[in-house]
Amino acid sequence: MSTDRKARMGDALLIHYICHSADGVLLETTHETPPPLIRLGAQDVLPALEKALVGMCAGDSKQLRLTPKQAFGPYYEELVAYVPINQLDLKIIPQPGMQVEVADGDNEPMLGRIVEVGEDSVLVDCNHPLAGETLEYDLTLVAFSDDNA
């Protein structure tokens, strides 16, 4: 295998990344574990990260800043609402931070996070936890993988 090989869609890659919020808070890192295997085009990572990896060689690193639109989308206030506790299928007492499934207007289940617990209802936020955030990534293509699964 040539060291000049450039990543392209369909390739299986071993990558490392560090993700910070725009104000420098560490959100996630893969450096404490073996590098995860991803396949370009399989939606294993955000499309903007896939695009950044295309054309990189093993050992290359790149820094990139993703706008909310490129990352997890804008934050929508309308995805935050009070839900009666009796409408939730809970086996334990609701707590802030707990993930719950709620029905949207079409009775389709949406995953949400309890923000606040009241006497008869809970405030649920169905936005992705990083919605509205600008994210900064330090991205490294560690190696190409022989995994063709």
CA distance 14 to 145: 6
Question: Domain extents for the chain?
Answer: 12-72+131-144, 77-125
Could you tell me the pLDDT band of residue 45, with boundaries at 50, 70 and 90?
Answer: very high
Q: What proportion of the chain, given as a percentage, has pLDDT over 90?
A: 83
Q: What is the pLDDT of residue 1?
A: 44
DSSP three-state, residue 62 = strand
Place of tokens 């996630």: 28
The CATH class given to the 77-125 domain equals mainly beta
What is the mean pLDDT of the segment spanning 7-15?
A: 96
Short-list 93, 149, 104, CA closest to 126: 104
H-run or E-run covering 53: helix 47-53
- Report the DSSP pairing between strands 121-125 and 80-84: antiparallel
DSSP three-state, residue 125 = strand
Could you tell me the pLDDT band of residue 107, with boundaries at 50, 70 and 90?
Answer: confident
Q: What is the pLDDT of residue 149?
A: 46
User: What CATH code would you report for 12-72+131-144?
Assistant: 3.10.50.40
User: pTM of the prediction?
Assistant: 0.81
> Per-residue pLDDT tens for 51-96?
999 999 999 999 999 999 999 999 999 999 999 998 888 888 999 9
Q: What is the pLDDT of residue 30?
A: 96
Full DSSP string of 33-49: SSPPEEETTTTSS-HHH
Q: What proportion of the chain, given as a percentage, has pLDDT over 70?
A: 95
Q: What is the pLDDT of residue 3?
A: 61
Q: What is the pLDDT of residue 147?
A: 63
What is the mean pLDDT of the segment spanning 5-33?
A: 96
